[in-house]
Structure formats: C-alpha cells, structure tokens
Structure 1
Amino acid sequence: MTLHDLRFDNAWAKFPDDFFTRVTPTPWSGTRVLDVSPLGASQLGLDAEALWRDEDEHATLTSLMAGRKLLPGMEPIAQKYTGHQFGSYNPALGDGRGLLLGEAVTDSGFVDLHLKGAGQTPYSRFGDGRAVLRSSIREYLAGEAMAGLGIPTTTALAVAVNEEKVMRERVEPGATLLRLSESHVRFGHFEWLYQRQRPEDIERLAWHVIERHRPLLREAEAPFEALFEDTVTRTADLIAAWQAYGFVHAVMNTDNMSLLGLTIDYGPYAFMDRYQPRLVPNHTDAEGRYAFNQQPGVALWNLAVLAQSLTPLIDVERLRAILDTFEPRLQSTYADYMRQRLGLAEKWEEDHALVSSWLALLEKHSADFHGAFLSLVDYDGSQASFADVAAALECEPDDDALVQWLRHYTDRLAQEPRSRQQRHDAMASVNPRYVLRTHLAQSVIESAEAGDSEPLRTFRELLADPFTERPDMDVWQQVPSRNAPPVNLSCSS
C-alpha cells in the first residue's frame, strides 16, 4: 500500500466548529526527511523501505512533511482544548504548532496523522508555530524507545529537517514530525467543555471516544462510568511503567494527558541515569511539581480534574469510587514490573521491602538505574557475580547494605520455581541494554544538525529493540560520568 492508498474518516472535523479551526499547513523550504520509522509505517500498513527508497513515495512524504501537500481525504485542523498547567487553569490552550491532518482508517483501527511544526494556529499564543530539529528528534526517539519497552505511547512516521531557522534559546534548524496516535483526545478537551458549561457536548465527546476507540464499552450498564474507569486503569498502568523504567515526563499538565492512557507530548523528558527519586529535568519547574517521585500523585490529581469535568455525566460518589481504584492498581502494576525486572516469578508480600531496599541502595550510591538492573541478570550468588553487582553500583564489595540485600535476594531466588537459565532469559527480556539517555540523544541531534543522520537511524533501531545486545554498539550504552552536569532541559526541548 502507498501513501495515496490511505483512507480517511475525519470524525473530529465533523464536530461543532468551535471544537477546532481549519488551518492549512505552512509550507517550509528545503525539507529533507531524516528517517522513516518501520514501526510507524507498520501502524499505517505502509512499507518503510518503500517510503525511503521509492522515488514517488519519498517525494510524497517529503511534500507532506514540508506542509506543501495533503493526501486525498485529509482535512487539517487545529484542535481546541484547555487544561491546568503547573496547577493553574489556562483557557487559551489548543494545538499551537501542530495540525491533525487526518484520521486514517487501518485494518487495526484508526490512526491520527498529526504534523508537528506545521505553523501558526489561532492557539499559538504569540508563538511561531514551528518546531526545531532538537525537539523533533527527541520526540521521534522517545516514541520508539517507549514502544520498544512496551509502554503505551504516541509514535511517529518520520522526522524531517528544513532550511528554516528558528529562534529558541538559540537559532536552530527548523523541523517537522509526523506524529501518529490512535487519538489525540486529552483530559483538556473535557475540561474545556466543562468550563464552558456544555454538558451536551461533553456527552457527545464521551460517546465519540467510546464508539471509535472503546467499542466494547457500548454494552456496559453505565458506559460513561466504564469509560472513566478505563481511563483511570490505563493511566495507573502507564504511570507504573514510567516509574518502573525511570521515565520522567516533566510536564504532566492536564492538557498533556491522553484519555486513552498514552504517553503524549514529549518535551523536557528524561530517562533516569543515576537514580534520583527527586529528578526534575525541566529547568522551569523550580518547585519540582513534576519530579520523578511526584508523578503518581500528579496523575491522580489530573484524574480528579477530569472527574470534575465528567460530573454532568456521572454521579460524584461513583467518580470518587472509581478514583479510589487508582492507587491500588498503580501499586499492583508497579510491583509486577519490578518483580519482572528482578527476575521474580512468584508474588510474595515481602517483595515490596526487597524492591524498596534495592532502590535505597541505588540512591545511596547514586548508581546507574538501568545498569544496576542489568547487573542482576547474570547474578548467580557466586563471588564473581557479587563483585559484578558491586561494580555496577560503583561501591565496595563489602558494603554492608549491599551484602545484606544480596543475601536476601539470594534467599528469595532460591524459592523461585524457575531455573537460573529461565530467570536469566526472562530478565534479559525486560531489562533494556539500550536506553534513551539524554546525552546520547544530544549526540544524535548534534550529528543531525551537522548533516549526518546515520546515528539517528542507528539509535532508533537500538531503541526499538532495546533488549537484544548488538556487537560493536557499546558506545550506545555509555553512562554519564559522576561529574557530568545534571539534566537541565526547557519546554522547547
């Protein structure tokens, strides 16, 4: 199938006119596609190799990324929504630099094609509506990394650079990203309608989500309650995965929360290097509202805001009861993730203490989060494997806390039904060897800005399959040194 074979059913463009504004993408000059994602292509039923090598297909993709061409059936719109930013309600939000080009119909469902960096919209709030190469590459790689880890996320079909110069903290190359998602419906869409006192449209939007994305809920006794329960469950599972894999979103505003439980709107995010529970990679978050260890509480706060927006449809006591399921679900899912990472197949009540003391060890020694877990994959209780774990934590082998923890861990493994090889294979399949570390992403960005996109493709391939070790790829496993400056990103990242 080719790009021109895509069919579109643009339900959002059929909503009332103030749900969106029709905007034509701004054409950019000198656009060049840097990479095409096999994952993104497969989501649309396309062939990534054809998009890259076939002259006509590549030209069509380039024109689409440049804002110079639309596919038949596309109806580009900028969506209107609002939301709470750092705890304060902002009524002026909406798609400020991206356009929903169309909603493609695929064999497995619907896929939004959303062009980021498409130019100014009525919701740009004095911004230029452009995207820079730095942020576009970071989001492109983030989608690949999260999908590779099995964490729900938006993805992208391709990333492109153009000849435009864009001013952020410095003058940077302009870029576009063709983002893909089952839907872009946000908590903020419901907030907007609630604040405008439009209960009929809240109901209309809720039915749209059910009919289009959660059709099994149509037969529920209370479909709107079932939809909110679905969102709470998926959000709890999402945050559990973030915490288990050391991901910090850094801008968990309600308008950046997906009703479908997807990771969306990658800005100053970071994957943990050395374990810091209070990691705040966003330099504008002076109070640490969106620190790593605050994410579960923020997610619940955001869900409470969504619940308030749904009060025209659902009884308040039912909303509270559903919200009460969030923490138990998150804790249970998080525990499952951490058992998997530690190689534990059975569930023991004592595992919570084992996990907590392990994380305390990592914090005490400022150990590399992912490297520490990897050191346990080959652990067999021998002195050699004991020394390997100590080396990963960069501490002495006779460290009392480590000695005590490894004794408990060894005893716990002895109670497991699986063989050592089975445990090894299971742990190797959930503990990534290749992680989207900020300094590695920066090296890819610098290469791309210099005209070399090969590191981008290489890193994307590794992140898409992060558990398989590749020969001669050690450079992509490097950990920042202890004296490396802290991760300090801006929202333009």
Structure 2
Amino acid sequence: MTDNIKVGWNLENTYTSLPDIMFTAINVNPVSNPKLVILNEELATSLGLDSNALKSRQSVEKLAGNRALEGGIPLAQAYAGHQFGHFTMLGDGRALLLGEQITPSGELFDIQLKGSGRTPYSRGGDGRAGLGPMLREYIISESMHALGIPTTRSLAVVTTGEDIMRETVGPGAVMTRIAASHLRVGTFQFAAKWGTIEDLKALADYAIERHYPILMDNENRYLLLLQEVIEHQAVLIAKWQLVGFIHGVMNTDNMTISGETIDYGPCAFMDIYNPKTVFSSIDSHGRYAYENQPNIAAWNLARLAESLLPLIHEDQEEAVKQAQEAMATYPEKYETYWLTGMGNKLGIFNIEKADISLIENLLQLMDKYEADYTNTFRALTLSKLEETALYGKEDFNQWHEKWQARLEKQDVSKDFIQRLMQKSNPVVIPRNHRVEEALEAAVVKEDYSVLENFLKVISRPYDYNSDYMEYTSLPPDTLGEYKTFCGT
C-alpha cells in the first residue's frame, strides 16, 4: 500500500486538527550561516529521505529552520508539566514541529526542530540551543536506540553560525528530532487545566488514533489509553534500569504517551553501581536519582490519570476508582519486566520468586565494593571474574556458587545461557568521559572524527566479537565527580 510513496519529504499535519488552544502556528526563525555537521543516514533512509539530497544547501537551510519544509505547517505545541514536583504552564519554548513524515512503511513520525528560536512559550528565553547539548542528545538517543530502548531519535545537527550564552559562550545549533509523537503527560495536563472537556476529548482521541488505534471503537477507550501508557512506561523504565540509564529530569512534560524516551538533557549512564546516583546539576535533592526512577514514573502516570478522569467516567467517584485500579497495576508490571530483564542478564530465562534475593544480593555486593555496573555483567557473561571489583571477595564467592547452582537447574546448554546474557548485557555504553571527549573535540576543535568513531562503537553495544575494550574503561580518578547540565 506504500509503494507509491515518494522519496523525500512527504508530510502530514495532523496536529493542526486539534483545538487551537493546543498549539500556535508560527514562522521559522532564520539563522545566519547554517552548516550541517552530522547526518543520520540510516535513519534518513528509514524515513524515506535521500541522504545526499539532505546534504544540499537548500536542505540544510530547512534543517536549520531558515525555510519551512514543503507541505509542512510549523507550529509550537502547548503543554504543562510538573517540574521537580511544581506545576507550571510550559510549551515548545525552543522547538518547532514542522509536520509528520509518512515513511515508506506507512508510519507517521514527527519532524521537530530543537533550538530553532523563540516561540510564544519561550518564557523570556532566546529559544536557541548550544552545539554541545544537541550533539549530546544525538549521541545518547542513538545509543538508546542501539540498546533496544524506545526513544526519540536525531536525524541531523546543524550549526547556526551564531554564538549563544549558557554556562559559557559557544556555537549555536539546531537538531532535527524524530519521534512517534511529542504527546506528553504534560500535554494532557495542559488540556485538562486550560481547555474544555471537548478539547481534552479531542486530544485523547488524537493520541489513541495515533498510537493505539485498536482502542478507537471501544467505549472504554480513555481508561484503556491510560492502561496502555502505564504498560509502555513500565516497559521503558525497566529498560532504563537494566542498562543503568539515568534520565535526570523526569518531569511530566518529559514523559511521552507513546512510551519513548524523550528530552535528553542532564542524562547519563551509571559507571560505578550506586542506586542513589544523580548526575544532574539541578537535581540537588536527588528526586530523579537512579533508584527513584520507577516510583517517579508512577507519580507521573498518576498525573495523567488525574487529567483523564473526566473522560474515564461521568461520575467522578467511579472515574477515580477505575483510574486507581489501573494505576495499581503499574508496580507489578514494572517489577515483572525488570525481574525478567535481570534474569536474562544473569542467564536465567525462567525467573522464579527465589531469584529475587539472588539478584538483590548481587546488586548489594556491587554497591558495597563499588563495582562498575556494565562491566560486572559483561565479566559475568564472559566468565572473567578477575575483571570485576568483586573478584576475590568471600561474600561474592558465596554468591557466585549460588548463581552457578541456579543456572544448573535450567535444562539448557551453557551456550544458550551465554547467548542470552550476551543479548542482555551490553559490552559498551556511552561512558560519560567518552561523551565529553567527543563533545570537546567537536565543539572546541571542530574535529568530528572522535564523535564519528564513538558513534560507530555505541551503535553495536552487544557485539562481543569486536575489540571495544578501550571504550569499557572507567574514567581516571582525576576527573572527579561527574555533573551534567540541561543546556537550556
């Protein structure tokens, strides 16, 4: 059915069908001297775009926001959000939705420019973005994709020829972000707070048609929508925890209805296992620490449930009851996905209740001996225990004996167990010091070779046949405590 779709931009503008309160149509904000610095050619092909054509001067102008895409209607989306627990009116303060690309397979993806200039939602900001944060999002989002974690992706980064001031003065940039949609929990909070019931219903129907169309004809579709988002977020957060990813700013405007990871600001991957790990410079109280992410997701989902109450049932008491019953499923769903994933990481394919203590004991040992999270599981996969901080410790030896006894209970070969572990334990992650190394070379020295090599490595995180050892090492102690910044 999609054979006749042309190569190139093939845009829909379905978001404009929503009530006017949900967005503001605006013109693009030109920059002085756009230059393409990185293009995701594999992603471009999957979107039905010609990589060579995207490198042309005219296309770069479009990726910079100097020209609108043919067939697109640029707009900034309105939404709200609980930011560190405090509710506020928000919106696309430095982003433009250009339209939705119809891919050769018939899928629909948002095409958004990030760092494209002021909008009515900029709240006094300049609407621009720095090159470092945009390349950072490119690196991390592509790594998440390679790890098999639902995520928005980056098509391109274009420098603007203009400097911007953040922590320091640096080159400005615009990133082209691709998403199943940019619908957020905060989008529903906005409609519930400032829109009418009809506005909220229109938004919910749009979300269902876009992401869960099988629900559209069901009379309980709004409750089912909540249940689907709960399910997808339980899957997503479990996947985050399994690879040691810390989002850093899990505000309700940064949780999608589609179940994709979005908004890579002060995010990072954990090196030494510590459940209280926080990287974000603005998270002074550890609200979004690694160990808190599953519970924060539940908190955010509760805000979605509150927003949907008028649609779930006309009787508020009954609506609350149904929403609470839906929310009550989240902890078990999350735990099931996390336990299954942790079992896979340890070569256990039929997780049992008794395995919970085995898993928790390993994590406690990793915390006690300051073991690297990723490298510990890699060493267990390869039976190279000497490469972990746990090696030679008596309590770890006791744990290892119990683990081996558990594996022997499974009626499968050792090869099967190792293959399961290799598929579940990445060899490499985007180590923070490696990310900074790539960013410094690109931003300060205009040398993109370090970034390009790094992207090749992290695009194959489960490849145990490649020699990536230099990318598995921890940062030198001289680097000190690692901190990340929003870049806004």
Fold match (TM-score > 0.5) = yes
Q: What is the aligned partner in structure 2 of residue 385 from structure 1? A: none
Any residues of structure 2 matched to 1:378-389 within 5 Å, and which?
Answer: 378-379=382-383, 388-389=384-385
Q: Matched residues in 1 for 2:48 and 2:366: separation?
A: 43
- Structure 2 residue runs without a partner (length 5+): 313-318
CA contact (8 A) 1:139 1:267 kept: yes
CA contact (8 A) 1:434 1:466 kept: yes
Q: What is the aligned partner in structure 2 of residue 492 from structure 1? A: 487
Q: Matched residues in 1 for 2:125 and 2:54: separation?
A: 34
* Residue type at the aligned position of 1:16: P
| Normalised TM-score (structure 1) | 0.93
Q: What is the aligned partner in structure 2 of residue 201 from structure 1? A: 199
Q: Matched residues in 2 for 1:69 and 1:197: separation?
A: 32
Any residues of structure 2 matched to 1:29-428 within 5 Å, and which?
Answer: 29-47=32-50, 51=51, 54=52, 57-91=55-89, 93-106=90-103, 107-196=105-194, 198-314=196-312, 315-379=319-383, 388-393=384-389, 395-397=390-392, 399-428=393-422
Q: Matched residues in 2 for 1:2 and 1:31: separation?
A: 29
CA contact (8 A) 2:19 2:202 kept: no
* Residue type at the aligned position of 1:196: W
1:414, CA displacement in angstroms? 1.0
Q: Structure 1 residues 56, 463: closer, same or farther in 2, change over 3 A?
A: closer
1:472, CA displacement in angstroms? 5.4
Q: Matched residues in 1 for 2:175 and 2:92: separation?
A: 14
Q: Matched residues in 1 for 2:106 and 2:358: separation?
A: 41
CA contact (8 A) 1:249 1:269 kept: yes
Q: What is the aligned partner in structure 2 of residue 477 from structure 1? A: 472
Q: Structure 1 residues 201, 448: closer, same or farther in 2, change over 3 A?
A: same
Q: SS at 1:276's partner residue?
A: coil
Count of residues paired in the alignment: 477
* Residue type at the aligned position of 1:363: D
The superposition leaves residues 8-59 of structure 1 with CA deviations (integer Å, 9 ceiling, x where unpaired) of 1111123222211122222223322222214421431235xxx2xx367533
Which range is displaced more, 7-16 or 130-139? 7-16
Q: Structure 1 residues 223, 169: closer, same or farther in 2, change over 3 A?
A: same
* Residue type at the aligned position of 1:347: I
Identity value in percent: 36
| Normalised TM-score (structure 2) | 0.94
- Structure 1 residue runs without a partner (length 5+): 380-387
Q: Matched residues in 2 for 1:195 and 1:221: separation?
A: 24
Q: Matched residues in 1 for 2:42 and 2:322: separation?
A: 39
The superposition leaves residues 310-363 of structure 1 with CA deviations (integer Å, 9 ceiling, x where unpaired) of 111111111000000000000000001111111111222111111101111111
CA contact (8 A) 1:164 1:173 kept: yes
1:162, CA displacement in angstroms? 2.9
* Residue type at the aligned position of 1:458: N
Q: SS at 1:35's partner residue?
A: strand
CA contact (8 A) 2:269 2:429 kept: yes
Q: What is the aligned partner in structure 1 of residue 23 from structure 2? A: 20
Q: What is the aligned partner in structure 2 of residue 5 from structure 1? A: 8
Q: Structure 1 residues 4, 171: closer, same or farther in 2, change over 3 A?
A: farther
Q: What is the aligned partner in structure 1 of residue 315 from structure 2? A: none
Identify which of 405, 427, 439 aligns with 2:433. 439
**Aligned-CA RMSD value:** 1.8
